[in-house]
Amino acid sequence: MAARPLDIDTAWELVLSAVDRSNVTLPFPGTETPAVRINGQGSWNLMQPATHEAQSLLSVFLPLCRPLPDNAQLNVIGQLGQSLDGRIATVTGRSRFINGDDGITHLHRIRAVSDAVIVGAGTALTDNPRLTVRRTHGRNPVRVVIDRHRRVPDSHHLFTDGEAPTLRLISGTYSKPPHAEVPPGVTDVPCLGRPEDDAPVDPAHILEVLADYGLRKIFVEGGGVTVSAFLNAGLLNRLHVMVAPMIIGSGRPAFSLPEIDLLDDALRPRAQLVNLGSDMLFDLDFSGT
Ligand SMILES: NC(=O)c1ccc[n+]([C@@H]2O[C@H](COP(=O)([O-])OP(=O)(O)OC[C@H]3O[C@@H](n4cnc5c(N)ncnc54)[C@H](OP(=O)(O)O)[C@@H]3O)[C@@H](O)[C@H]2O)c1
C-alpha cells in the first residue's frame, strides 16, 4: 500500500505510461505497487486512494490514451480556450493569455498524448506558436498547419526551430506518401486543391492525409474557424473547452456553425466539468451523439 494518496504529478506519469495500452495494471512509477487498472473497453479502476485533482486528470486523459483497435480508426480531439462571453481572441487577434497557467498546462498535456497537433493558418500566422510540450513531461506531437496560400512566413517557429517535424498542408494535388511516417524537418504536402479555391477543404480529407502519414490521434488546437470546421463535419470525438473567468465583450468567436432555429438542433454532448484551477474545463464527449 502506498503511503500517500496518488497525486497529480504521479497521475500524469501514469497517463503517459497508459498511452496505447489496455488490459494492464499500471504500478506507481518506480515501484511494483498497483496504482491503476486499465480495462479493455477504455474503462479504468483506481487501485489506491488518490487526490481529487489526480482523479480528475485520470478521468480526462485516460480516454485519450486508449489504443485504436483498427488501422482505419482515428481519435480526434478539439480544444478552444475562451472567455465567459465565448471569445478566443480580441478583434486584432490577441489571445495570449485568455487561459491561466493551469489551462496552458492542460493544453500541453493534450499535445503530449497526441500524434499530431493541427492549427489553421490564422493561428500560425498571428501567434507564431511552437506547439511543443514544454509545461509537462511527454513527447512533442507532429505539427500540422493548414496553409493553402502559404500565408505563414518561413521564418516562424514551426518551420525553423527543429523541435518536432512539421507538415505544411498547401494547395495542390495530393499523392500518398510511400511510407506511413513523417520525415524530420518541414514537409510541404500539396493536398488542398487549387490555390484560387476559397471553399474550405473537407476536414475528412485532411484526416485521411494525416492517416497516410501514420498519424491517428489528432489534436485540433485552433483557432475558431478550424475547430468549427471539424466540429461541423461531425469529426470530433471529444472537445475540450476551457473557460476563463474573463469577459472580453468583443473579438473572435469560439464556434461558428450554420444557423439553427430550434434549440432541439443544438449540439448537446455528454459533458464532464473539471475545475482546473485557473479555468473551468468542459470535457465534451461526442462519441455516440
Ligand atoms: N483561445 C484559443 O484557444 C485559441 C487557439 C488558437 C488560436 N487562437 C486565436 O485565434 C485566432 C485565429 O483563429 P481563426 O479562427 O481566425 O483562424 P484559424 O482557425 O487559426 O485559421 C483559419 C484559416 O486556416 C485555413 N484553414 C483552416 N481550415 C481549413 C480548411 N478546412 N480548408 C482550407 N483552409 C483551412 C484557412 O486559411 P486560408 O484562409 O489562408 O485559406 C483559414 O482561413 C488568432 O487570433 C489566435 O490567437 C485562440
Ligand 1, residues 90, 91, 92, 95: which to mutate, most atoms within 8 A of Cβ?
A: 95
Separation of 125 CA from ligand 1 center, angstroms? 9
Ligand 1 binding residues, C-beta < 6 A: 80-81, 88-89, 93, 95, 98, 119-123, 126-127, 146, 148-149, 151, 192, 200-201, 203, 221-226, 229, 252
Longest dimension (CA), the chain: 64
CA nearest to 245, candidates 284, 283, 277, 221:
277
What pLDDT does residue 249 have?
Answer: 98
Strand-pair category, 34-38 with 186-190: unpaired
What pLDDT does residue 3 have?
Answer: 62
Ligand 1, residues 82, 106, 146, 152: which to mutate, most atoms within 8 A of Cβ?
A: 146
Strands lying side by side in the sheet with 44-46: 24-27, 34-38, 44-46
What's the CA angle centered on 203, arms 197 and 205, to 5 degrees?
85
pLDDT of the chain along its 289 residues, tens only? 556 899 999 999 999 999 999 999 999 988 999 999 999 777 899 999 999 999 999 999 999 999 998 777 899 999 999 999 999 999 999 999 999 999 999 999 999 999 999 999 999 999 999 999 999 999 999 999 999 999 999 999 999 999 999 999 999 999 999 999 999 999 999 999 998 988 999 999 999 999 999 999 999 999 999 999 999 999 999 999 999 999 999 999 999 999 999 999 999 999 999 999 999 999 999 987 6
Neighbouring residues of 279: CB distance < 8 A, sequence distance ≥ 6: 81, 99, 100, 102, 103, 106, 242, 243, 244, 245
Q: 171 φ, ψ to 5°?
A: -65, 160
Q: Where would I find the H helices in the chain? A: 8-18, 52-65, 101-112, 121-127, 157-160, 203-212, 224-232
CB 201 within 8 Å of CB 168 = no
What secondary structure letter does DSSP report for 244? P
What pLDDT does residue 61 have?
Answer: 97
- Give the nearest ligand 1 atom to 123 CA: 20
Spatial separation of the C-alpha atoms in residues 172 and 185, rounded to whole Å: 20
How buried is 157 (Cβ within 10 angstroms: 0-12 exposed, 13-18 middle, 19+ buried)? middle
Strands lying side by side in the sheet with 217-222: 186-190, 166-170, 142-146, 116-120, 217-222, 75-82, 238-243, 280-285, 270-275
For 117, the 3-state DSSP assignment is strand
CB 222 within 8 Å of CB 119 = yes
Catalogue all structural domains in the chain, each as residue range(s) with its CATH number: 8-65 (no CATH), 75-256+267-285 (3.40.430.10)
What pLDDT does residue 70 have?
Answer: 76
